[in-house]
């Protein structure tokens, strides 16, 4: 029983972590907390659903098509909404992304209605595979672990070695200096949003396979992923994933003991962590100077 | 134009005789409104007034103190449930019940204000958002709050229930007068608060908290006080809302409601009581009236139905309100960060300096 709870907690935690990475990438580069992240993932998942169930195309066509859609969507939101805003305040940015969230949620509700749908995903939660003797995991869990590892390794390599990744880090450290060095900062933001939307869409499809698909389904996972991201420290990508794993385990064990209070664990954790250690467990605390 | 010669001029409620006359005319109009408004519209006006109270309170926090809250639906819910439950189980008269409920909300606001001391921007937004959702879940799961089924508000009794002092208010029109009096008092209260030492301390925190601290403003006291005042207003608004709709469940107090509250303040104009009132009126009207029946609009309605039939679903057209509100939010940040109050100021300036 203990192992099962632990593994399940780790799996859902990895999913939170993956989605938290999507939030963290944008926050890292442009200091924007994207409240529309969940709805961007939701929209992409609905596109996958549309391609598979309405047009009847197989998963291996729908999957890449969805990922391309996710990238375009992320870039479009950055280009249409964030770029025209001239020097917005923190509150202004918050309102912008919340507006995008309402917009996407309204569009999805208009197109697909509010009723809950099953998302036909390649990996099932019910079929199990025995990896080691005595350890059977369901396909979904294995998929999450593999995907998270792959994304983490790719991101590490990307930020460490690719020219674009280095440009992104430079933009994060000092936007003006990056501009002077010849980095097209606006293009970097665009690519960041595309990347984040892509990772968010991947995670959202995994969430949809576990629960149901409706226009609100990403709201609570987004909150939890954000809790995970804050727990690990919003600016450290490995920290975010570790935060996700910790949150997943806490939530799963807590949910086993008191099932009816499971939904609020993440919020209590978020408030506690923010109060005690606002910059997260794995990043240095910075002090605002005058 | 706006030169002030002494302190008294700065703190007086009406800047000039013109403002006073127009305010009195407007109040007379409000107090006689049920005479010429069809009674089914009074319900909408009641909701608008409740939202005006809330927006004015939220503006104290967001507009004047510069903090962010995405959890005001939580305080709103505390007010609604608190008032109804105190009246149902303890048989308190309405004024006592609503004040106790609002004080509970204010206390919760104080508690939420504590972590806010070290937080800013997005972190604060998330902490308050978490608070709002926690309140919603607690209410939804606890039997005493009626659980997911929701509760029905008790009769609105201004005196002591079941006694000779009982004075029950019934119907939208009577509730309208009660809410109107409370709204006017609270709006004047908020306006005056901003002209006291406390209000100036709030504004100094908004402009630069470090400078404010150096000047001797106690951040701990004033930040938490701002949260408490704002939560108090939300509590009062919630208590009245419960009687306006007479039936409510936990899911009415969701995240979207918190977002809409914030939108009212931002669309109206940050840091101005008048702006908050305008924002609350506009957004509530859009949400409850215009966008709810969007297919009945001239020209646009027919077009939307055609679009729905072709690419979307007609039944999902109800979600159009979300799309419109989202677009309004985005447009206001991009084109008019000062909100409707900014537009108003510009019109005023144009007329005052005309023809230059």
> pLDDT at position B310, please?
76
- How is residue A117 annotated by DSSP? B
CB contact under 8 Å between A103 and B127, yes or no, is no
pLDDT at residue B41 is higher than 80: yes
Q: Tell me, yes or no, whether B267 lies in a domain.
A: no
Tell me the mean pLDDT in the region A80-85.
87
C-alpha pair distances (Å), B257 with each of A149, B54, B154, B281: 38, 12, 24, 15
Predicted confidence (pLDDT) at residue A290 exceeds the cutoff of 70: no
Structure confidence at residue B3 (pLDDT): 73
Greatest mean pLDDT among B24-28, B234-238, B351-355: B234-238
Q: Cβ A105–B270 below 8 Å, yes or no?
A: no
Residues of chain B numbered 189-218 and touching chain A (CB < 8 Å)? 210
Residue numbers in B near A227 (CB within 8 A): 126, 130
Six-digit token string for B261? 């509250």
Q: What share of chain B is helix, strand, coil (3-state, %, to 5)?
A: 75, 0, 20
Over residues A79-94, the mean pLDDT reads 85
Interface of B with A in 229-268 (CB under 8 A): 255-256, 259, 262-263, 266
Q: Residue A288 — pLDDT band, cuts 50, 70, 90?
A: low
Per-residue pLDDT reduced to its tens digit, A5-28: 888 889 889 999 999 999 989 988
> Structural domain boundaries of chain A?
2-215
Is the predicted pLDDT of residue A289 greater than 60, yes or no? Answer: no
The verdict on B141 touching A (C-beta cutoff 8 Å) is yes
Give the range of the structural domain holding residue B186, as residue numbers without chain letter.
45-255
**B311 in contact with A, Cβ within 8 Å:** yes
Q: How far is A42 from chain B (nearest CA, A)?
A: 16
Backbone angle region of A181, left / alpha / beta, with phi > 0 → left and psi within -120 to 50 → alpha: alpha
Q: Indicate the number of domains in chain B.
A: 1
- By C-alpha distance, the chain A residue nearest B214 is A290
Residue B6 belongs to some domain of the structure: no
- What is the pLDDT averaged over residues B176-189? 92
Shortest distance, CA A45 to any CA of chain B (angstroms): 17
Asked whether residue B27 is assigned to any structural domain, the reply reads no
Band of residue A217 on the pLDDT scale cut at 50, 70, 90: confident
B115 and A CB contact within 8 Å? yes
The total of other beta-carbon atoms located within 10 Å of residue B344's CB is: 17
CB contact under 8 A, A107 and B133: no
Domain assignment present for residue B78? The answer is yes
Domain presence at residue B134: yes
Position with higher pLDDT, A229 vs B280: B280
Closest CA–CA distance from residue B312 to any residue of chain A (Å): 4
B301 CB-contact burial (10 Å; exposed 0-12 / middle 13-18 / buried 19+): middle
Are B323 and A99 in contact (CB < 8 Å)?
no
Inspect the interface and report whether the beta carbons of B115 and A275 lie closer than 8 Å: yes
Q: What mean pLDDT is reported for chain A? A: 85
Residue B299 lies in a domain: no
| Chain A CB contacts of B256 below 8 Å | 102
Helix (H, G, I), strand (E, B) or coil at A130: strand
Average pLDDT, chain B: 86
Residue of A nearest to B119 (CA): A278
Contact A96 B333 (CB under 8 A): yes
Cβ of A102 within 8 Å of Cβ of B323? The answer is yes
> Is B120 part of any domain?
yes
Question: In B, which residues are within 8 Å of A91 by CB distance?
Answer: 62, 68, 266, 270
Residues of B in contact with A90 (CB under 8 A): 68, 120-122
**In the prediction, which pLDDT does A231 show?**
82
Q: Taking CB atoms and an 8 Å cutoff, what residues of chain B touch A115? A: none
Instruction: Please report whether residue B287 resides in a domain.
Output: no
How near does any CA of chain B get to the CA of A105, in Å?
7
Burial class of B114 by CB neighbour count within 10 A (0 to 12, 13 to 18, 19+): middle
Please tell me the pTM assigned to this model: 0.89
Interface pTM (ipTM) of the complex? 0.86
User: How many other C-beta atoms are found inside a 10 Å radius of the C-beta of residue B341?
Assistant: 23
Average pLDDT over residues B298-313: 77
Quote the pLDDT of residue A284. 64
What's the pLDDT score for residue B2?
65
Asked if the C-beta of B316 comes within 8 angstroms of chain A's C-beta atoms, the answer is yes
Q: Is B307 on the interface with A (CB under 8 A)?
A: no
Tell which of A80, A109, A214 to mutate to test the B interface (max B CBs under 10 Å). A109
| Mean pLDDT confidence for B174-183 | 91
Instruction: Give percent of chain B above pLDDT 90.
Output: 28
Of the candidates B141, B326, B337, the beta carbon closest to that of A102 is on B326
User: What integer is the mean pLDDT of A170-179?
Assistant: 87
Nearest to B59 by CA among B256, B51, B10, B9: B51
Cβ(A224)–Cβ(A9) below 8 Å: no
Least confident segment among A123-137, A139-153, A253-267, B26-40: A123-137
Res B78: pLDDT: 92
Q: Is there a contact between A18 and A147 (Cβ–Cβ < 8 Å)?
A: yes
d(CA B312, CA B306): 9
Q: pLDDT tens for residues A100-120?
A: 999 999 898 888 887 888 887
């Amino acid at each position: 029983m203990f192992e099962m709870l632990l593994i399940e907690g780790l799996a859902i935690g990895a999913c939170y972590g993956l989605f938290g990475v999507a939030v963290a990438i944008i926050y890292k580069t442009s200091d924007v907390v994207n409240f529309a992240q969940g709805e961007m993932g939701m929209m992409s998942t609905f596109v996958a659903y549309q391609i598979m169930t309405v047009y009847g195309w197989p998963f291996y066509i729908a999957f890449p098509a969805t990922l391309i859609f996710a990238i375009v969507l992320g870039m479009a939101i950055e280009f249409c909404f964030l770029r025209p805003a001239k020097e917005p305040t923190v509150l202004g940015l918050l309102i912008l992304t919340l507006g995008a969230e309402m917009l996407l949620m309204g569009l999805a509700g208009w197109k697909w209605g509010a009723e809950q749908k099953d998302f036909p995903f390649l990996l099932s939660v019910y079929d199990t595979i025995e990896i080691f003797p005595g350890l059977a995991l369901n396909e979904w869990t294995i998929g999450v672990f593999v995907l998270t590892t792959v994304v983490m390794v790719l991101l590490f390599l990307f930020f460490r070695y690719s020219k674009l990744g280095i440009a992104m880090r430079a933009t994060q450290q000092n936007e003006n200096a990056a501009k002077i060095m010849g980095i097209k900062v606006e293009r970097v933001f665009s690519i960041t949003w595309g990347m984040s939307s892509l990772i968010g869409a991947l995670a959202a499809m995994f969430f949809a396979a576990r629960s149901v698909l409706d226009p609100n389904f990403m709201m609570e996972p987004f909150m939890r992923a954000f809790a995970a991201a804050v727990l690990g420290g919003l600016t450290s990508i490995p920290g975010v994933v570790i935060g996700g794993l910790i949150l997943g385990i806490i939530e799963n064990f807590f949910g086993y003991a008191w099932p009816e209070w499971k939904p609020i664990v993440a919020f209590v954790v978020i408030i506690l962590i923010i109060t005690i250690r606002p910059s997260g467990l794995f990043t240095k605390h910075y002090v605002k100077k005058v | 134009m706006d030169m002030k010669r002494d302190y008294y001029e700065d703190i007086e409620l009406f800047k000039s005789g013109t403002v006073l006359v127009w305010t009195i005319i407007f109040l007379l109009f409000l107090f006689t409104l049920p005479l010429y408004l069809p009674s089914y519209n009074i319900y909408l006006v009641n909701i608008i007034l409740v939202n005006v109270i809330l927006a004015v309170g939220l503006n104290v926090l967001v507009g004047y103190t510069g903090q962010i809250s995405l959890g005001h639906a939580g305080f709103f819910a505390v007010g609604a449930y608190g008032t109804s439950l105190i009246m149902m189980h303890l048989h308190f008269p309405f004024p006592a019940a609503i004040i106790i409920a609002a004080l509970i909300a204010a206390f919760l606001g104080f508690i939420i204000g504590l972590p806010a001391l070290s937080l800013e921007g997005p972190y604060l937004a998330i902490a308050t958002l978490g608070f709002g959702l926690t309140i919603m879940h607690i209410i939804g799961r606890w039997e005493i709050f009626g659980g997911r089924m929701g509760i029905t508000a008790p009769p609105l009794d201004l005196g002591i229930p079941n006694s000779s002092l009982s004075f029950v208010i019934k119907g939208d029109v009577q509730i309208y007068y009660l809410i109107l009096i409370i709204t006017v008092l609270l709006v004047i209260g908020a306006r005056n608060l901003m002209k006291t030492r406390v209000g100036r301390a709030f504004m100094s925190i908004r402009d630069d908290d470090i400078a404010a601290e150096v000047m001797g403003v106690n951040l701990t006291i004033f930040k938490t006080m701002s949260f408490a005042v704002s939560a108090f207003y939300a509590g009062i608004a919630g208590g009245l809302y419960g009687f306006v709709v007479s039936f409510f469940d936990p899911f009415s107090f969701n995240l979207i409601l918190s977002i809409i509250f914030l939108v009212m303040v931002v669309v109206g104009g940050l840091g101005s009581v008048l702006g908050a009132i305008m924002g609350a009126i506009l957004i509530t009207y859009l949400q409850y009236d215009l966008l709810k029946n969007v297919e009945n609009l001239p020209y646009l309605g027919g077009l939307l139905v055609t679009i729905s039939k072709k690419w979307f679903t007609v039944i999902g057209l109800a979600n159009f309100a979300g799309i419109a509100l989202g677009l309004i939010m985005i447009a206001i940040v991009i084109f008019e960060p000062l909100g409707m109050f900014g537009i108003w100021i510009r019109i005023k300036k144009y007329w005052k300096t005309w023809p230059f």
